[in-house]
Structure 1
């Protein structure tokens, strides 16, 4: 993973510290350890962000920020990854989590009516919630582990590739000087 690529899209900590709505956590936001970009901190940030994104709870960004603070990983990545479950993707992801939980619990899947309403959800919540919770936790754990492993492998591949390219350039420069 190229650090420059990630740094290009990350906000600057000073900008966030000066925002009025974030002043109460400015001492945490200003911690340089939460902005470090290393293989470990980025991989752990992906784990925290993906784990938080799969949970059907309010304030996922707060959970991701707290997880980043606990694990000392890259704060903006973990908070930003929560937006995988945005208002457009959330119904699909949580329905998939529910179906996974129903399959794991070996219970029949409740089919949604043609027109879903809050009344229908409130009436079925007792039936839906156990399967949704189990499916969400299982998918959160799986996505967190897979995301962590993939980021570590991609980072290692990128570093190895850049070392090989650098060695090739040195070899070519040496050959050019000899000619």
Structure 2
């Protein structure tokens, strides 16, 4: 994997000494939370993409908690949650709704969103089941496929690096 490129964007592990993060104590001192290895990065992708599909505010909090518990790369887990941002949420969550409606065998008819208490009381009642099921399915598919893809790409990259090193050694 392009470690040098990723290291440019990932905050330095000294962030764990920040005064506001002291409340986490020694939990933030696990090296996997800050290192770039096959396990921590692939697990971080799974956590980040699954949490991105959770329809709730502050998705970064469960992503960070899961990354700490699973000892995955913390910055990558948190960054991937922003896949669903205010611009991408409508199409992503509408797709999740359509997936859930398809699985439940319901008609995925369109609906009008209205940011009012009345809509949340009546309109949401008819779509919450397919919506949440679709979010769970899409999140699970993204988590599993990203984990497998990252592990395959990482293995391929290491294999190429070893072959390159072997060719270089043979040419000397």
Question: What is the TM-score of this pair, normalised by structure 1?
Answer: 0.87
Per-residue CA deviations over 1:68-112 (Å, capped at 9, x if unaligned) read 111111111111110100111111111100010001001112313
Name the structure 2 match of 1:45.
Answer: 44
Aligned-pair distance for 1:26? 5.8
Name the structure 2 match of 1:153.
Answer: 152
Give 3-state SS (helix, strand or coil) of 1:118's partner. Answer: coil
Name the structure 1 match of 2:63.
Answer: 64
Instruction: Please say if residues 42 and 77 of structure 1, whose CA atoms lie closer than 8 Å, have aligned partners that are also in contact.
Output: yes
Question: What is the TM-score of this pair, normalised by structure 2?
Answer: 0.90
Give 3-state SS (helix, strand or coil) of 1:45's partner. Answer: helix
User: Would you say how many aligned residue pairs link Structure 1 and Structure 2?
Assistant: 170
Name the structure 1 match of 2:77.
Answer: 78
Name the structure 1 match of 2:141.
Answer: 142
- CA RMSD in angstroms, aligned pairs only: 1.7
Summarize the Cα distance change of 1:63–1:51 in structure 2 as closer, same or farther, 3 Å threshold: same
Q: Does 1:117 align with 2:114?
A: yes
Aligned-pair distance for 1:144? 0.3
Larger CA Rg, structure 1 vs 2: 1
Aligned-pair distance for 1:27? 4.2
Q: Does 1:2 align with 2:5?
A: no
Measure, in 2, the Cα distance between the counterparts of 1:110 and 1:25.
Answer: 46
Aligned-pair distance for 1:16? 5.5
Measure, in 2, the Cα distance between the counterparts of 1:166 and 1:79.
Answer: 34
Show structure 2 runs of 5+ residues with no match.
none
